[in-house]
Amino acid sequence: MKKPCLILLGGAGWDERRRAVSVALTAAAFGHPVVVALSGEPLRAWIDGRFDDGAPPESAGARVGSLLAMIEEGRRDLGVEVVACETELLLAGIDAEEARASLDAIRSLPEQWRSAAEGHVLGF
């Protein structure tokens, strides 16, 4: 089994979300188990269905499609997981029960860390 990859996504901008999604899909395509852990604005955007908001006009010319569609495809076809911890949900003002419908899991940060301890951890 290839090394797991934990991507911590807390940067508020579209570019941080784009880079995290690109790395997640690339790692998953190469057979690595990938978990994208959301916090802050990316977590709120995910739950609210605004994950694509803020795309610059140049994204179309660069053939960068919908980040939401890309990560949903990664979840469906490559096993990418999108998670958050309960503390991040509370800090973002999001009800955990409401979030469960959009997330693959609610996992504590120590649990996320243990699962990636032998692999890669990246922050955006």
What separation in angstroms does the CA of 113 have from each of 8, 47, 107?
A: 10, 23, 10
Question: For residue range 21-61, what is the model confidence (pLDDT) as tens digits?
Answer: 999 999 999 999 999 999 999 999 999 999 999 999 998 88
Question: For residue range 65-110, what is the model confidence (pLDDT) as tens digits?
Answer: 999 999 999 999 999 999 999 999 999 999 999 999 999 999 999 9
Residues 3-15 have a mean pLDDT of: 96
Shortest CA distance to 40 belongs to which of 88, 108, 112? 88
Sheet holding 120-123, edge to edge: 105-106, 81-84, 34-38, 5-9, 120-123
pTM: 0.95
* Secondary structure class of 4 (helix, strand, coil): coil
What is the token pair recorded at 69?
């569609």
The pLDDT-based confidence of 16 (bands split at 50, 70, 90) is very high
**CATH assignment at residue 115:** 3.40.1260.10
Range of the domain at 103: 5-123
Q: How many domains does the chain have?
A: 1
